[in-house]
Structure 1
Amino acid sequence: MSPFNNQGNLYLYEQMSNKKIIKIITGLNNFNIHRIIKVVKTAELGGATYIDIAANPKIVFFIKSITFLPICVSSIDPSELYNCFLAGANIFEIGNFDAFYDKKILFSKDHIIYLAKKTRELIKESLLCVTIPCSLPIHEQIELAIDLEKIGINLLQTEGLTSKSQSLDSYNPYLLSSIQKASLTLSSTYAISQFVNIPIITSSGISNLSAPLAIYYGASGVGLASALTKYDSISSMANYIKETAYSVSSQYDYSLDKPLVYMKTQCIDLVQSKYL
């Protein structure tokens, strides 16, 4: 039985099919309940699809009691994800690799497959997502995505370390800056989407400007985190989420949009010159 047949997941399936997913990340190492509540309520007001919170059963149980939004938790520990399942979480993601990158700890393709299989054994018929590590070469990212689809993973997420390059073009510095920050995750999304049929969430450095390009590249939605940190008020953050939701759901021909075509060209150039 598909986890999307669950009544609570029908809305998620619809949003993924329409490529309108907006995931709000509260901070996967953020255990401050007051900050989490602020972001959760902001996500509700902004019309987000679901929230991603720390993989802590007590926090999951509490947040479940105050929001109607589906809850995603991320961890590399299958037992931790299972405990969050018991607490009422809806989506389970093998990810949150950032803390390990700082310690020079990397995850191999085989290790990710092992974690995915172990988690699926513990959490049957629930939505299971796997983040594709940006530390892997692009061909291994594609191979991993194909293998994950074969073993029944429901969602994939791409990530990327933010580009440090400051060389901006006079055409539109802010526009190009948005692409530079998201260039790795966008290129991964495009490459992986050519080989799998399961939904992809593009995350890491995504803004309201680069979000439409993620959809154009084959994503079913985007994850927002760092783009919200520059705002202090709930209303400002909610408006930003609404802007992003509008940008990914606007139905127009992207091929005729010169800024997006320019952004695509710049992204390809950056990937080829810096990362391949």
Structure 2
Amino acid sequence: MNLFNDRLKQAFKNRSVLKVITGIENTKISQIVKIAEASKLAGVTYLDVSANVKIVKALKSSYDLPVCVSSINPVDIYNCVVSGADIVEIGNYDVFYREGIYITVEQIIGLFKEVKSLIPNIDICVTIPYFLTCTEQINLTKSLDLLGVNIIQTEGMSNVKYIKPNTNKCNKDLVCLPNSFIPSLFSTNILSNITKVPILASSGFKNINSPITKLYGASGVGISSALKQYDSISDIVKYIIQTTGSLNITDSIQSIDTPETQNDSKLRSYPLIKR
């Protein structure tokens, strides 16, 4: 595991990461601060926000939470790091999917190289696009691993309307499943077997299904849409605590030393595909 941020390193080592996403298009400071306050009280690992200098400065001046900025604009990413961002993410592509824009493998690798050259000592997370075939996801992850990526994130599809044209039938059947978290789980299971880079699962996860991510090889989970139904800080805190509690229950289940696991330390419960 190659992480610069010590707080993140410990959380990823414990496979207990909970990231709260405020939204790549959300620039309402008051709303973001409310989520940040709840996240601090509930013990969230880090926040994921829009690559906006004002947002980063507002959060870093008031909270001791690591802040991640998401963008595909290297200049915005660099400016946010200068302003105090702790982590950067090349991802959150939904805004582009709505416009019919689908980033290519070559573009992702090019972006990573450019961002890495600008901020060589900052942890970089890259989201693997849902619409790539399994082989493409594996090859991209291997390439990013060799280039020094720190975190990999998987995604599902938030809206079937945004499916990439000309997607092959097999892949289309998977990404069009009614629950957007299922493709993310599928990718997490596959990629966790070919890289030691920690993986975050994201897209459609809630307090009740977040624990599943760890069973499929994730080191943590990102939640966002599930929080939008709550207005008060206390309600958001309760929901986040429920999520962290469910993740801890998964740890308890995995720690049970059964006869089946005594002879195979690498066995992971309920794999999506056979090893």
TM over 0.5: yes
Q: Does structure 1 residue 43 correspond to structure 2 residue 31? A: no
For residue 140 of structure 2, what is the aligned residue in structure 1? 144
Map of 1:260 onto structure 2: none
Does the C-alpha gap of structure 1 residues 3 and 191 become closer, same or farther in structure 2, counting only changes over 3 Å?
Answer: closer
Residues 139 and 246 of structure 1: is their aligned pair in 2 closer, same or farther, counting only changes over 3 Å?
same
Asked if structure 1 preserves the Cα contact closer than 8 Å seen for 2:205 and 2:222, the reply is yes
CA distance in 2, matches of 1:161, 1:3: 28
Q: Which runs of 5+ in 2 are unaligned?
A: 161-177, 257-268
Q: Distance in 2 between matches of 1:3 and 1:66?
A: 24
Question: What corresponds to 2:69 in structure 1?
Answer: 73
Aligned-residue Cα RMSD (Å) equals 2.1
Structure 1 counterpart of 2:192:
193
Cα deviations by residue, 1:209-259 (Å, 9 ceiling, x for unpaired): 221110110111100101111222211111111111121123323599xxx
Q: Report the TM-score, using the length of structure 1 for normalisation.
A: 0.83
Counterpart in the other structure of 1:243: 242
Show CA shifts across 1:180-229 (max 9, x none): 34111111111111101011111110111221110110111100101111
Counterpart of 1:83, as a letter, is N
Task: Output the CA distance in 2 between the equivalents of 1:132 and 1:255.
Answer: 30
- The equivalent position to 1:120 in structure 2, one of 106, 116, 120, is 116
1:163 offset after TM fit, Å? Answer: 7.3
Partners of 1:146 and 1:196 within 8 A in 2 = yes
Query: Letter of the aligned partner of 1:28 in structure 2?
Result: I
Give the TM-score taking structure 2 as reference length: 0.83
SS of equivalent residue, structure 1 residue 156? strand
More helix by share: 1
Q: How many residues align?
A: 243
Shift of 1:107: 1.1
> Does 1:131 pair with 2:107?
no
Q: Relative to structure 1, is the Cα distance of residues 85 and 29 closer, same or farther in structure 2, using a 3 angstrom cutoff?
A: same
State the percentage of identical aligned residues: 42
Q: Deviations over 1:37-91 (max 9, x none)?
A: 0111111111100001110112211211010000000000111100101101000
Task: Spell out, residue by residue over 1:126-159, the C-alpha distance to the aligned partner (whole angstroms, 9 max, x if none).
Answer: 1111011112112211111111010001001111
Q: Which runs of 5+ in 1 are unaligned?
A: 165-178, 257-262, 269-276
> Contact 2:215/2:270 (CA < 8 Å) preserved in 1?
no
Q: Distance in 1 between matches of 2:10 and 2:63?
A: 20
Answer whether contact 2:11 2:17 (CA < 8 A) is retained. Answer: yes
Aligned residue number for residue 204 of structure 2: 205
Matching residue of 1:219: 218
- List structure 1 runs of 4+ shifted beyond 6 angstroms: none
